[in-house]
Structure 1
Amino acid sequence: MNINEQTELAVSVGDKYISIQTCEEGYEYSIYSTHFDLLDGGIIDSQEQPMREVLDNIMEELALLPINAEPVDYDVLSEKVEIASESNFASSIVASFRFKTALHFDAIVGMDVKGVEEEIRHVLEDVVRESGYLIPIQDVIVTGKRARGLGMTDEPIDVVVSHFDSRLDEMELDQLFNAPALKLDDLPIHVHPVEAQHLGTHFLCEETNLARVMREAFSYHKNHLKEETAIVVRPSIVQALKDAEIVPENKKLNQIPKREER
């Protein structure tokens, strides 16, 4: 391909990656860290200039010598950037979920939610070692009604286990983790395995479901409170009306009776 006909290009320069592609205005470029996080980017209005020359100018402005630039596969770089973006998205979703859990979680045998998650993780790692499978556990996260303080004290502890293993399907992993009938302080532990790459989507759905459960619980307690209030208030009002002297509508309360003339 003629260098002037290139539509996309990517290079590795020191501790950064730079990608550039054509767009309507000219060229669009992006600069990434070694972890594929976006550091900078923009659009250069220079349609007449060759792509490689534009890239050299960008590197010169960054004080990176073009001679140190090593070509990398543009598609591979784009894929890694997308994966990193999804991972960051999942991390923010999980962090938000955990923050809310910490506000509502009821302690179990004196342990807060972080302590419960750590304890269950140790138990699950023992299960993995005994199984003979090499399943790298990424995280253990309390979920379900307990995550919002809605569960009864004797209800099971639901946890999501995120992992990087793709050799076993979800049903096999579910069987592996739940077959031993694990418990914490006599409370059953229900494990829900989820691949790390699907964690963000899973917790978006989980957040939606728990929000619905919380709305239903709030509505129930609100209506129940109304019923209790009605039972107490209405008879007292009826009794008050019976005991009180009811003034006819055509008689004004502030009217003073006339004295009889003698």
Structure 2
Amino acid sequence: MSEPDQAALECRGVTKRFGALVAVDAVDFAVAKGETVGIGGPNGAGKTTFFDLISGLTPVSDGTIHYLGQPIVGTAPHKLCQRGLARTFQLNSGFDGLTVYENVLAAQSFGRRSAGGWVMTPRADRDAARAIIADIGLEDIADYMVAGVPTLARKKLMVATALVSEPEILLMDEPVGGLTPPEIEEFIALVLRLKGQGLTLIFIEHVMHFLMAVADRAVMMHQGQIIYDGTPKGLSADKTVTEVYLGSAGTGGAG
């Protein structure tokens, strides 16, 4: 785990209770600037709830979260986005009634250099939106309505709408869920390019091939707690991970 003075993101004792249910249980977690961390674990392990706490969508019950050394517990999600903490979601969200380009332009209004509304976005920002669309590989469909674009393009669009906010950290929740193997390979190439640009990446993913291909560090959660924090290669040799997540002999999968 990264030392606190090196951390782009630092969580200490982060807990979320829903009545008697402890969904996230006193989690300590830190990520260094430029690091890529993949979070895995069975369904119901608390992974998405943990992301919701970091990104301000769900209030923290206990604990502290620091982003670039500053406390952020209680900060609204749009304020975090403006400060450079961006996120994508499991569902392929987007404005179906707008084009790919218009979706990115709309996202620009929530970014770090927000002009207060996408209709009044300066020309430089419009050019930046076009540049991001081209860099992500969506230039050919920039003027297509989002309602009609395929799954891979929608996944890429979510990344584009996050990148236009000029993030320091990008959180991605199951970025390759629902993609075919060739599409996963294409998405791996995209994420490796972002990684090469020095962006701090934290993602949740069930597809272990993706995690192994792009993560510097793997974190496994179970019942709201971190049960493994180490190299991706070390996952297969960890007894707890094998029993809980991968499934030990005679038990089947972890669910």
Q: Which has the higher helix share?
A: 1
TM, length-normalised to structure 1? 0.20
Greater radius of gyration (CA): 1
TM-score, normalization by structure 2 = 0.21
- Which structure has more RCO (C-alpha within 8 Å, separation ≥ 6)? 2
